[in-house]
Structure 1
Amino acid sequence: MQLRRLLRVRRPRRAGWAGLVLALLLPLLSVPAAGLSAHAAGGPAHEPTRSPARNPARVVAEVPIGDRMLDIGISSPETDAPVKWVRLLLPKGWSKSASRTWPVLWLLHGGGGNHRDWTANTHVEQLAADRDVLVVMPETSGCSSYSDWYNYGAWGSPAWETYLLDEVRPLLERDYRAGTARAVAGLSMGGLGALKFTAARPGMFRAAASYSGAVNPLYRSTDGGLSGPDGVKLGALACLADWKRVWGEPGYPFDTDDPADLRQQWLWKRNSPLEQAASLRGTPLYLSYGDGTTDGGPGWSWGSGDTPPAPSPARCTDPPVHGTQDPIERAVYGMNQQLRAKLAQLGIPATVCASKGGHSWPYWERELVASWPMLMGALGA
């Protein structure tokens, strides 16, 4: 998630200070206990059954941006918003009436982001210019977690997973010549989304990449840093939403000292790439993350031409411990170290680049370029 803007406003001297701020502010955003569903008190509540055939999403606007970019405004009751946008990078020869379809790369934004982030902060237009691929960059919300929200057990909107995979995807395949060969990549909160979608829908995506992904929402820091639930709380704070609406409460060891009090931890696990790692088997995976040390920068830049230099494999130094300069990437480091170990335990291969670095676009663009051949190869593009 892109929480750096929030942290700049409230940059803590110590991680414990951030926890104190959250403890003071988050109750102000919570609904009264009397208004909660009975499910909120704990005990698994089954997710609602949704029919992929039901697709209330409709296009309400199309905005061409040059010859090779199109913004589509979509209205759907699943989003809790009048319109959400999807930005498309169009391949050569594309038209809505074309007799063929194109393979699709989904790029997911981070917390606080939107559909414009990838084109505003990277050279993805140049990367895709000579590739026979349709790039899809959807807008969700700054704290969507790419999930169907729990809403204290009432479910309903926003339902971001349903919206993207059961509404936007078939809409693009029906009306915008998107094919069924798909890959997905995302940064931070979008890295969570890319891997959780791949695990939840085996076979839907041919490859998945996560850059600084929040891949273990139940990550617990043991040395005073941010834990996974802190990220959910901060993200919801930025959205002016109650964080408990997303997945409920994680239970022990967070916010309770009772080991038997697990609350809605089952749902946190349902949305965790770490917990669902076994379902990633068979999909080519790319994981990149930093250690929270930002001295020296990424050591790579696009340069002045249309073709970037290949990032050096020497960047993947595999730091044995995290740094302390970037509190978000410090937590991301711990999450990804755990996922990496889990994949190895399960015998699931993945391309991994752990390096020095922070939670910012120069590192994410570098890793987009590094993972591009894998993503395009999976799509045959």
Structure 2
Amino acid sequence: MVRKARMRGVLAVLALILTLLGMQVPGPGGASTARAADNPAQVVQEVRIDDRTLDVAVRSPEIDGLTHTRWVRLLLPAGWDRNAQRTWPTLWLLHGGGGNHKDWTANTHVEELAAGRDVIVVMPETSGCSGYSDWWNYGRGGAPAWEAYLLGELRPLLERTYRAGTERAAVAGLSMGGQGALKFAAAHPGMFKAAASYSGGVNMLYKSPDGGFSGPDAVKAGAVSCLADWKRVWGEPGYPFDTDDPADVRQRSVWERHSPLHQAASLAGTPLYVSYGNGTDSGTGWQWGGPPPSPARCTDPAAHGGEAVERAIFGMNGQLRARLAELRIPATVCASEGTHTWPYWERELVASFPMLMGALGIEPHPDPAVIQPHPPAASSRI
């Protein structure tokens, strides 16, 4: 008895010391409480935008910059409560290059689309040139480590603090975010129940056949917008971009590791939606509030449009489409006329939404009156 009392006293003193040091002591929650203590990401601010929209500022050492802070916007379902006994499935929407956590609500009707759905929509901010990757940093690693932050820190933080579910999540993104969505699904099989890419940069090793815009050009342009050294992201791609020597591959393996095309085999078993345009702006043939986008839009046109970025995207996604077919991995693919702009991305978000929700087991709200359209702002991202 004396020994047990002495042990309880030692544990109490240890707990007090850990508390004074700002550490958490594992309690009855066991592993989940320990995981919370191990996760350095912290919520530093919350801003309630409206009854359904919550902006959360998160600080993490994995984030580059002076403040090490980025925002995440949450669209919350009806009945959500941070103290609820239940959890909610999540849909992650990833922004493109130069974007942020406000893009999807500013440029699409995602609020109305998700209204009445039993889902938390997660829209995280990274940087305009994040690549949704842990940067190579000349082989040193370290910050920014966007994948480690988003999936290793932000995701468990949302599960712990905002009642996000641990089992059911889907991910979608545009441009750089499309690359991120498929990259995450390939790198973490089973983490996401479905993945969608809209004009995604699915092979940044793409070489334009006519001397036009190639994959590394996008990485270099993005780094300029971030005031960053582009070689920090994945290094140099090597031949045929930086050298005429086919044996000089430099950091090509790093580029391939972050390429949905080169990691396509790991997408097997994940429901996929892939859409892209050919660089021709002929109009979407669809507007919010009308019937669902018609399958007739997916015409498999030739890449003859004048918009350079989407023409490169067209080439990349054609390669991915062929690779998925070679691997016999099913995917819903829509190749259409279109440019690298929001009206096309919103159309494809709406077209893919039933697949994304179906993968989460979520049915639409039975009352269509919950959807109240409003005009989105016009914008575009690279």
Question: Shared fold by TM > 0.5?
Answer: yes
Give the greater-gyration-radius structure (CA). 2
User: What TM-score, normalized by structure 2, do the two folds share?
Assistant: 0.84
Displacement, 1:327?
0.5
Displacement, 1:52?
10
Displacement, 1:324?
3.2
Say whether residues 1:313 and 2:295 are aligned partners: yes
User: What TM-score, normalized by structure 1, do the two folds share?
Assistant: 0.84
- Residue in 2 that maps onto 1:192: 179
- Residue in 2 that maps onto 1:98: 84
Distance in 1, matches of 2:47 and 2:103, equals 17
Distance in 2, matches of 1:213 and 1:90, equals 26
- Residue in 1 that maps onto 2:151: 165
- Residue in 1 that maps onto 2:107: 121
Distance in 1, matches of 2:252 and 2:349, equals 32
> What amino acid is aligned across from residue 74 of structure 2 in structure 1?
L
8 Å contact from structure 1 (residues 212, 290) kept in 2: yes
Q: 1:205 aligns with which of 169, 185, 192?
A: 192
Q: 1:74 aligns with which of 58, 62, 69?
A: 58
Q: Deviations over 1:204-244 (max 9, x none)?
A: 00000000000001001111211111110111011111100
Q: 2:129 aligns with which of 135, 140, 143?
A: 143
User: What secondary structure, in the 3-state scheme, does the structure 1 residue paired with 2:123 have?
Assistant: strand
> What amino acid is aligned across from residue 69 of structure 1 in structure 2?
T
Say whether residues 1:339 and 2:325 are aligned partners: no
Say whether residues 1:324 and 2:305 are aligned partners: yes
Displacement, 1:323?
2.0
User: What secondary structure, in the 3-state scheme, does the structure 2 residue paired with 1:216 have?
Assistant: coil
> What amino acid is aligned across from residue 326 of structure 2 in structure 1?
Q
Decide whether aligned partners of structure 1 residues 52 and 93 sit closer, same or farther in structure 2, where only a CA change above 3 A counts: closer
Displacement, 1:58?
0.2
- Residue in 2 that maps onto 1:110: 96
Q: Count residues with an aligned counterpart.
A: 325
Distance in 2, matches of 1:323 and 1:132, equals 42
Distance in 2, matches of 1:324 and 1:313, equals 21
> What amino acid is aligned across from residue 156 of structure 1 in structure 2?
G
Q: Deviations over 1:120-141 (max 9, x none)?
A: 0000000111100000000000
Task: Map 1:135-284 onto structure 2 (within 5 A).
Answer: 135-179=121-165, 180-284=167-271
Moved more, 224-233 or 206-215: 224-233
In structure 1, the gaps of 5 or more residues are: 1-50
8 Å contact from structure 1 (residues 149, 247) kept in 2: yes
Q: Deviations over 1:292-338 (max 9, x none)?
A: 011x21111104xxxx420011100011x212321000000000000
8 Å contact from structure 1 (residues 290, 357) kept in 2: yes
> What amino acid is aligned across from residue 232 of structure 1 in structure 2?
V
Say whether residues 1:298 and 2:279 are aligned partners: no
Distance in 2, matches of 1:299 and 1:54, equals 50
Displacement, 1:54?
3.9
Displacement, 1:53?
8.1
8 Å contact from structure 1 (residues 64, 71) kept in 2: yes
User: What secondary structure, in the 3-state scheme, does the structure 2 residue paired with 1:286 have?
Assistant: strand
Distance in 2, matches of 1:152 and 1:54, equals 27
Distance in 2, matches of 1:312 and 1:52, equals 46
- Residue in 2 that maps onto 1:17: none
> What amino acid is aligned across from residue 334 of structure 2 in structure 1?
C
> What amino acid is aligned across from residue 319 of structure 2 in structure 1?
Q
> What amino acid is aligned across from residue 376 of structure 1 in structure 2?
M
In structure 2, the gaps of 5 or more residues are: 1-34, 363-382
